[in-house]
Amino acid sequence: MKSLIALMVILPILCGLLLNLLHKKDKTIKILALTVAIILPIIPLIASYGAYYFGGYPPIAENPTIAKYLPAYITGSYLVKFHPAITYIFTSAQRIFIFILGIIAFFAIFTSLNEVKKPSGVYSFLMFMATAAVTAILLTDDMFNLYVFFEIATISQAGIILSSNIKGSYKMALRYLFLGGVAAPMLLLGVALLLGVIGNVNISDMVFAMRNGLIGQGNPIFLTAAGLIIFGWLYGSGLPPFHTIKSGLYSKALPHAASLIQAFSVFTLAALGIIILRLFYYIPVVRWAIIIFSIAGMALGISMAIMQTDFKRLIGFLAVGELGYIGIGLGLGTTMSITVGLFQAVNEVLVTACLFLGFGTILYQTGISEIDKLGGLLRYRPGVAGLMILAGFIMAGIPPFNVFQSKLMLIESAISAGFPELAIIMILLSIVTFMTFMKAYYSIYLKPEPRGLEVKAERIPSSTIFSMIILLVICTILGILPQLATSQFGSIIHGLL
Amino acid sequence: MTLYDAIIGKVREIEKKTRMEARVTNISVSAVLTAELTIVSTILLVILMVRKLDVYIMVLFLLVGFMLFSMTPIVVILHREQTDSFHKMIFYVILTFGVLITLLYWGNINV
């Protein structure tokens, strides 16, 4: 069943390519896209844990047939442990991440196909390509392969925005690509420097080389590589200085696409963050850099969110701000904090997706995103308003939901690690998140309806409501049983610390 | 002039400059005040925390903090700087890149 590991990436790519070719064949596009979208979250549940070697070349140490024909100076050296092939690693942590990514991708594709009369093969292609790219980022143990999929994810996300047909989406997508033109080559340069110093692009081999003294950790080239890779990480995840463009990107996407794109950002943050920790854990300033950028992301994102007058931008900034909690978990670098940071990643993906879909219903009903022009929407769809307030409570960290569990555990980890200041910052920003959400909720649902507000569509697509309910149910289950998720991350952390 | 008046004055000034049509409401002023207090408290707590990394970096953060506090309300300036202007974005991207590489290189030698 190990071939299923590769299939998690190959299947969405193949499906995307096929959809791209099926222009104007609406029914076929719908059936194919939905079938693959249903299969995506199932594959990680049935795949076996382990490593998949592309081309079928495991390390020499695992292949005695080849080893017996090699000279002793090779079989007796470190080379036997090095990975000659592009390697994908699938553990319980990847299982939960790819499962959740599959669920979000399914809801995004399902909602998009239900909201439009004529499905676009190109649009679905971009969603599948980006999903495949982020899945590969989560699985790969090869730095260059990671860079390639990082670029594919960037281009696909820009493509999704370009296809959204929202005013200003072209400019935003191009800005995102231009900034990517600065950040992504820096990531590649970091990879190239590591290749130059270590002679290998496999992450496990790099870690092995460092821990066995094959390379000095104070090496200036190594430090520069650390800086360059962290810079790429900031771009991929949307932490400052890329928080403005990332929130802009969310605001110019259709709601279902925004829910998917934010999942890409969160999982890129988690996957690259873990790689940075694996490579540079023993350089304390790297963990400090992660913490400082995470705090900056939280403070800037949440304080900008509360000042927004457009709810799409508001939720965009909130999504960016919440990323900081994950970064803090990783930056603290303890077993508990990393576990909880990854748990927060799962939680944030679920609740933010729900909020994007929920805010999308307001846009669907009124076509307006300026908060000042809205009001009194509670009487049209009280059920959806109820779901929205639940999602807002979850994001702010109200018990007994999943985000409460992860934020509480993060605060405990910060105090245990000797950083009470961080704990206070996290509490403070959670309160402001709650206030931001309530400000938007009051203005949209509770405030008297402004004169001239036209509610064009009272009926909201049932696919959207269904997706929101399922996401909220998962949030509640993870809130009551957090160990369902937290117990899955041991495999990653065991090899890290 | 109280902080409240200073913030309202600054919000009006910015709105005039940017020709915004929105009115200054109770909600918008309380939002700005909340954001301001959040930013100020976060900066103070970060300065306090950074002492565990290095005293020199704490002094550097303290100086930056004082510079920011002298420009109160900070959040209005932050709001103006965090627009969709490509020039501003690229400026902060390059600035961050320079600071990051310098700190990492310096940090490993001195921390």
pLDDT digits (tens, 9 = 90+) for A168-184: 899 999 999 999 999 99
Return the closest-CA partner of residue A168 out of A235, A245, A105. A245
For residue B109, name the pLDDT band (cuts at 50, 70, 90): low
Render pLDDT for A457-478 as a digit per residue (tens, 0 to 9).
767 889 999 999 999 999 999 9
Please give, rounded to a whole number of angstroms, the shortest distance from the CA of A387 to a CA of chain B: 24
Query: What is the nearest CA distance from B43 to chain A, expressed in angstroms?
Result: 9
% of chain A with per-residue pLDDT over 90: 74
Task: Look at A64 and A126; give whichever has higher pLDDT.
Answer: A126
Determine the distance in angstroms separating the CA of A459 from the nearest CA of chain B, rounded to an integer: 30
The residue type of A262 is Q
Q: Which residues contact A465 (CB under 8 A, 6 or more apart)?
A: A361, A383, A384, A387
Strand partners, A90: A50
CB nearest A240 (choices: B96, B101, B103): B96
Asked whether residue A308 carries a pLDDT value surpassing 80, the answer given is yes
Q: Would you call B104 and A226 a contact, using CB atoms and an 8 Å cutoff?
A: yes
Burial class (CB in 10 A: 0-12, 13-18, 19+), B13: exposed
Band (A381; pLDDT cuts 50, 70, 90): confident
- The 8-class DSSP code of residue A253 comes to S
The span from the CA of A403 to the CA of A216, in Å, is 40
Domain presence at residue B32: yes
The pLDDT score that the predictor gives to residue A214 is 78
Residues of B with CB under 8 A from a CB of A: 22, 27-28, 31-32, 34-36, 38-39, 41-42, 45-46, 48-49, 52-53, 75, 78-79, 82-84, 86, 89-90, 92-97, 100-101, 103-105, 107-109, 111
What local confidence, expressed as pLDDT, does residue A223 receive?
Answer: 85
Q: Which carries the bigger pLDDT value, residue A56 or residue B33? A: B33
What was the pLDDT predicted at A5?
95
Tell me which of A275-284, A335-344, A427-436 is least confident. Answer: A275-284
Least confident among A80-89, A225-234, A455-464: A455-464
Pairing of strands A87-90, A50-53: antiparallel
Of the residues A177, A178, A303, A439, the best mutation for testing chain B's interface (the one with the most B CB atoms within 10 Å of its CB) is: A303
CB contact under 8 A, A179 and B45: no
Name every chain A residue with its beta carbon within 8 A of the beta carbon of B53: 284-285, 288
Q: Are A312 and A369 in contact (CB under 8 A)?
A: yes
| Res. B6 pLDDT band, cuts 50 70 90 | confident
Residue B13 included in any domain: yes
A170 versus B107: which is more confidently predicted? Answer: A170
pLDDT per position as a tens digit, B12-29: 776 666 555 556 788 888
Q: Is the pLDDT of residue B3 over 80?
A: no
Mean of the per-residue pLDDT values for chain A?
Answer: 92
Task: Residue B41: list chain A partners with CB under 8 A.
Answer: 425, 428
Q: How far apart are CA A280 and CA A303, in angstroms?
A: 31
In tens, the pLDDT along B72-104 reads: 889 988 988 888 889 999 999 999 998 888 877
Interchain proximity B78–A303, CB inside 8 Å: yes
Q: What is the pTM of this model?
A: 0.93
**What integer pLDDT is reported at residue A486 of this predicted model?**
94
Of A320, A331, A325, A200, residue with least CA distance to A262: A320
pLDDT of res. B103: 78
Residue A72 is inside which H or E element, if any? Answer: helix A72-75
> pLDDT tier at B106 (50, 70, 90 boundaries)?
confident
Note the pLDDT of residue A67: 80
- Per the CB < 8 A criterion, the answer to whether A164 and A257 are in contact is yes
Q: Are A1 and A47 in contact (CB under 8 A)?
A: yes
Contact present, A341 and A410 (Cβ < 8 Å): yes
Of A254, A348, A259, A238, give the one whose Cα is nearest residue A304.
A238
**A145 neighbors A187 (Cβ within 8 angstroms):** no
Number of domains in chain B: 1
Helices A382-396 & A402-416 angle (0-180, nearest 10): 10
Question: What pairs with residue A88 in β-bridges?
Answer: A52, A140
Domain assignment present for B57? yes
- Please state the rounded mean pLDDT for residues A400-425: 96
- A-B CB pairs within 8 A amount to 133
Q: Report whether pLDDT(B2) > 80.
A: no
**pLDDT of res. A265:** 97
Mean pLDDT of A316-330: 96
- Angle, CA B53 vertex, CA B52 and CA B59 arms, to 5°: 90
For A14-23, A71-80, B3-12, B59-68, which range has the lowest pLDDT when averaged over its residues? B3-12
Torsion angle (degrees, nearest 10) of CA A83, A85, A86, A92: -60
Structure token pair of residue B8:
């309202």
Supply the pLDDT for residue A191: 95
Residue B96, domain member (yes or no): no
Measured in degrees and rounded to the nearest 5, phi and psi for residue A142 equal -125, 120
Question: Is there a domain that residue B66 lies in?
Answer: yes
pLDDT band at B1 (very low <50, low <70, confident <90, very high): low
A134 — pLDDT class (breaks 50, 70, 90)? very high
What pLDDT shows up at residue A491?
75
CA distance B73 to B10: 8
Confidence of residue A35 (pLDDT cuts 50, 70, 90): very high
In a domain, B109, yes or no: no
Residue A349 has pLDDT above 80, yes or no: yes
Question: What are the pLDDT digits (tens) for B26-75?
Answer: 888 899 999 999 999 999 999 999 999 888 889 999 999 999 888 888 99
Please tell me whether residue A269 adopts helix, strand or coil conformation: helix
- pLDDT at position A78: 79
pLDDT in tens, A244-273: 999 999 999 999 999 999 999 999 999 999
Q: What would the mean pLDDT of A357-379 be, rounded to a whole number?
A: 91
H or E, element range at A411: helix A402-416
Residues 6+ apart with CB under 8 A from A310: A251, A369, A370, A371
ipTM of the complex: 0.90
Whether residue A45 has pLDDT greater than 60 = yes
Of A285, A307, A429, the CB nearest to B103: A285
CA dist., res. A341 & res. A323, Å (int):
10
Domain boundaries, chain A: 3-49+91-496
Within-domain flag for B58: yes
Nearest-neighbour CA in chain B from A307: distance (Å): 6
Nearest to A421 among B49, B101, B111 (CB): B49
> What is the residue range of B36's domain?
3-81
Q: Which of A212-216, A294-298, A426-430, B48-52 has the lowest mean pLDDT?
A: A212-216
CB neighbours of A360 closer than 8 A, spacing ≥ 6? A254, A255, A256, A258, A464
A218 and B46 in contact by Cβ < 8 A? no
What is residue A165's predicted lDDT score, i.e. its pLDDT?
83
H/E stretch holding A433 reads: helix A420-441
Answer whether A425 sits within 8 Å of B45, measured CB to CB: yes
